[in-house]
Amino acid sequence: MPAYRPEEIEKKWQAHWKAHSTFRAQNHSDKPKYYVLDMFPYPSGAGLHVGHPLGYIASDIVTRYKRLQGFNVLHPMGFDSFGLPAEQYAIQTGQHPALTTEKNIDTYIKQLSSLGFSYDWEREIRTSDASYYKWTQWIFLKLFNSWYNLDTDRAEPLTALTARFAERGSEGINAAGDADERQVFTAGQWQLFNEHQKLAAVHPYRLAYQQDTYVNWCAGLGTVLSNDEVKDGVSERGGYPVERRLMPQWNLRITAYADRLLQGLDTIDWPDAVKEMQRNWIGRSIGAEVTFPVKDHENAQIKVYTTRVDTIYGATFLVLAPEHELVDTLTTPEQRAAVDEYIAATKRRSERDRMADTKTVSGVFTGAYGLNPVNNEPVQIWLADYVLAGYGTGAVMAVPSGDQRDYVFAQHFGLPIPAISDAQQGLEKQADPTKEGRYINSGIINGLTYKEATTKLIAFLEEKGLGRGKVNFRLRDSIFGRQRYWGEPIPIYYKDGTAYGIAESDLPLVLPEIDEYKPTETGEPPLGRAQNWLYRDQYPYELSTMPGWAGSSWYYLRYMDPTNEARFVSEEAEQYWGTVDLYMGGAEHATGHLLYARFWYLFLKDLGLVSGNEPFQKLINQGMILGRSNFVYRLNLTYSQPDEIGKSQKANGPLVFVSKGIYEQLSSNENPYEVLKDKKGVVRTRLREIVGKLAKPVGNSGSTASALFGSPLLTPIHADVNIVENDVLDIDAFKKWRDEYEGAEFILEDNGTYVCGVEIEKMSKSKYNVVSPDVLIGKYGADALRLYEMFLGPLEQYKPWNTNGISGVGTFLKKFWRLFHPEDGPLAVTDEPANPVELKALHRAIQKVKEDIEKFSFNTSVSMFMITVNELTALNCHKRAVLEPLVLLLSPYAPHLAEELWQELGHEAGSISSAGYPEFREEYLVEDTVTYPIAINGKVREQLQFAAAATASEIETAVLGSDFLTRFGEGKAAKKVIVVPGRMVNVVV
């Protein structure tokens, strides 16, 4: 039998698994089910680097472990294949996004398959396939045709709402959303409404609705961007300017589910950090909505929401978002120019930038005054970009004595800061938000405590019709439309300017072919380029497409029943698989995908279409694998070249790189130039050789070239880590890597090598520290890569990558192979019974690995495998009774090697997944004897062995019957003997 050759074994078993559909999950089984899900990958053109498979390897280990335990496991894979990157590439190259997406997916599938993941590929889905997004559009139509009934606390079909309108009009309807946007009408008026009027009255109740909304508009990309896609006022992709713009947008009323989304977090096994991020994002608060009339504007009112209504007497000014609807009305002629300039500047900043910038103080006075509703005192109305139109009411009452941001603003603009509590301290330096003490300078609540004041003020405001107690959320409705091409078309058409959902029987609404993938010349989205794209040949379609998160909000359900043409998932399949048991993915999706997926699931639950309460029961966030960057050190050099008469002229110097040891020598020297000027020094001598070789004397002057040094003296430059091994640079490969390095010169270490510098950074193409799994699989095998990624450290932690370490794992796998094939010879497994020492090694491994997988502590399992193989190698153990269970134990981690050895042991090819997990037997770990430290008066003098089953009295008798006291007792008799079973013996004299 030849030596262990992973390149042959792994291709063999990957082909076998594919041909035999080894990992196909059954929708009907007597086995218990277990659903393992990986987060939907977006297939980028760059493919996978070694950081990407970390979570996939971990989930695959759990998947294979659960199969061995007798579970029917669903472990699917698919692709989140709509998105902006593919569209931008299409704009640049003219290729249809579907073509580049298909190519990228093929690359991903090849790479994922080469790692031996046990996916049920027959269930693969792609969000850009019309057969999939038909159902994404179907769910949108369900949202469009539903409202949220606060009385029943769930979504209901709009038919139930319109039936109530027909019976008693709009009176008594308790629905999620802004009541101020809705019409008031009687049942009789409803009956007289025409179709257009009825739809207009219903629209503000819909869970999917259209509304003028402030968005991040990027003219350079021709689309709306999410806050995540904007950084420092420009688009993350392309760096184009982004401005806040009011545009008609489709929204989903996620705010209706805010309370339920909060409550559900208490029922799921997720990382505390992720749950806390969602709680903060939802931001539930109990407070009051207060109305401030506007002086000299009879019909103008400013509504604010506050959690500290008790501080209202200290509200010395109001702050509006620059986008607030009343700004134009309130701004006085004297302030118009300043206000317009401020608004223009604000448009260039994203919401995220405005929220994050807590240091800059900016604002502008409108010239108008509000009236404090509790004392009718005038308060100035200002604009400031730290107030956002989409949060709350877009206005805040500023209480500078109780809020630090208001305090800084008031100080900056010279506004009053009155104390409102006798417990406030240090107001000359900062705000004091205390709720202690009693109120002062506060009218009707003077002398009251916080609780008393809050109750009295809310009652007063409600009585006067100027406010009410209210629960509020930071969470806002989700903007759903994108002005892009490569996304799901929104299944809406327009008749006489009114939005209608297309008939479900007409789904899917397929993306039309267009000539270019950028907005039209008139500013319409790319779909505006489609020719004769009309619903039933007469009504124009909505030109926006859905955001990237639409398809990923329900994909886990489609995996249950991916080819069903009649339903998004059959009732039987959904009820069998239920919810995801284990979800592996990144924490960066906490307030995006994970929140939206929960929202969609709760909505489908309300319609009776799913049977669980939460989509993902357990979530694990794998940490990031950081890149290990290598650096070369460029010497910034020119040289002095003499002309024909000997006059010195400067010329561009040769490209010279110094090795790490020389870099450190120069960097640590107070005057590195002196080192380089030392004519006897190695570096100086080498430089003279380099310069002399490239710069020849001119004429008869006899002068030669000499080196000149630039500033900075040395510059670290990233080198491709794939041409570096153990930090030693392959100089020939480096010269071929980039054209400008072809003639480079190198100053080496004393041993003749070029040693690179090292730094741990994020793995990125720009840092040339990306390592392709394909290269490592080709060199060491997929099983070695799987084990090594797990061995790097705890799954949830960030870990630096070091390619050098994988060779050790490769050596371990060879040693494992040689337990079966000593000296790489033929199979030498015997049927001899195992001895206690061998069984102890085996069962200690079974116990440890099982516990580790259950705790998702995979790195310590790999350590245990190595320890066990070393022990069995030392014991020269080749016994089936030990090695066969060990193969099963290793199979989730190194499945290709395990399949090969399992077949060699006489089992059916490819059957290891259906074998049982090795049974742990504790009796093999029980020691026959125990070594006891024996002490006199607490000081250990020697150690004695006793049978493990020996009783305390037997041990005491044996100690006293020995010569222990004679040798160590100094002639004293024993007063007492204390025996701690299994631990120690102490003789008191």
Instruction: Give the mean model confidence (pLDDT) for residues 546-569.
Output: 96
978 DSSP β-pair partners: 986
- Better-predicted residue by pLDDT, 706 or 446: 446
- For the cut 70, the answer to whether the pLDDT of residue 651 exceeds it is no
What distance in Å separates the CA atoms of residue 40 and residue 76, rounded to the nearest whole number?
10
Residue range 553-558: average pLDDT? 98
Write the burial class of residue 145 (CB in 10 Å: 0-12 exposed, 13-18 middle, 19+ buried): middle
What is residue 46's predicted lDDT score, i.e. its pLDDT?
79
Determine the pLDDT at residue 698: 42
At residue 55, the pLDDT reads 95
Give Cβ neighbours of residue 548 (< 8 Å, ≥ 6 apart).
42, 80, 82, 83, 84, 487
662 confidence band (pLDDT: 50, 70, 90): confident
β-bridge pairing 656-658 and 745-747: parallel
pLDDT at 701 (0 to 100): 44
DSSP for residue 571: H
Measure Cα distances from 817 to 5, 268, 621 in Å.
Answer: 10, 42, 33
Amino acid 351: pLDDT: 74
The pair of three-digit structure tokens given for residue 799, joined into one six-digit string: 């870990």
Q: Is 765 annotated as a binding residue?
A: yes
681, pLDDT greater than 70? no
In the predicted model, what is the mean pLDDT of residues 559-586? 96
Residue 676: its pLDDT value, please? 61
Average pLDDT estimate for 243-249: 81
Q: Looking at per-residue confidence, does 678 or 476 come out higher? A: 476
Residue 699 has a pLDDT of 43
- pLDDT averaged over the chain? 91
More confidently predicted of 350 and 167: 167
Which position has the token pair 């010395």? 316
Q: Which residues pair with 318 in a beta bridge?
A: 381, 397
Least confident piece of the model among 203-207, 382-386, 606-610, 922-926? 922-926
Average pLDDT score over residue span 44-52: 87
pTM of the predicted structure, to 2 decimals = 0.83
At 478, list the tokens: 């989700």
Q: How confident is the model at residue 899 (pLDDT cuts 50, 70, 90)?
A: very high
Angle 807-812-818 from CA coordinates, rounded to 5°: 130
pLDDT at 653 (0 to 100) = 61
Q: What is the tens place of the pLDDT at every residue in 287-341?
A: 999 999 999 998 899 999 999 999 999 999 999 999 998 999 999 999 999 999 9
> At residue 898, does pLDDT exceed 90?
yes
Q: Which domains does the chain have, with CATH numbers?
A: 1-18+803-926 (1.10.730.10), 289-471 (3.90.740.10), 627-763 (no CATH), 929-988 (3.10.20.590)
Residues 792 and 57 sit within 8 Å (Cβ to Cβ): no
Question: Residue 697: what pLDDT?
Answer: 45
Nearest to 58 by CA among 806, 621, 559: 621
Closest CA to 933 of 867, 987, 864, 879: 987
pLDDT value, residue 358: 73
* Residue, of 559 and 640, whose pLDDT is higher: 559
pLDDT of residue 711: 64
Q: Which of 346, 345, 342 is nearest to 364 (CA)?
A: 342
DSSP letters for 425-457 = --TTTS------S-B-S-GGGTT--HHHHHHHH
Residue bearing the bigger pLDDT, 989 or 702: 989
- Over the stretch 770-818, which tens digit does the pLDDT of each residue have? 999 999 999 999 999 999 999 999 999 999 998 889 999 999 999 999 9
Calculate what percentage of the chain has a pLDDT beyond 70: 94
